Amino acid sequence: MTARYDKALEDILWFTSKLIGSRTLFVSHIEETFKVIKVFNQNGSDLPEGIELPKDHSI
């Protein structure tokens, strides 16, 4: 992931958290697995960035 893409995700997640009042937001990718790409966390759920799980374990 490029630094520019990473910064854009951080900005989007920060703005969204302020807009809806959530403490934890994340961007993920689902194909054969569920992968967390970016996490924004302000004393919310402890979701590790980069975690990859089988789809049936992610729901």
* pTM metric for this prediction: 0.76
Q: What is the pLDDT of residue 40?
A: 93
Q: What is the pLDDT of residue 58?
A: 73
Token couple for 8: 């854009």
3-56 pLDDT per residue, tens: 999 999 999 999 999 999 999 999 999 998 999 999 999 888 888 999 999 988
Phi, psi (rounded to 5 degrees) for 58: -95, -10
In terms of pLDDT, which residue wins out, 59 or 38? 38
Token couple for 5: 């893409």
Residue 5 identity (one-letter amino acid): Y
DSSP 8-state assignment for residue 56: G
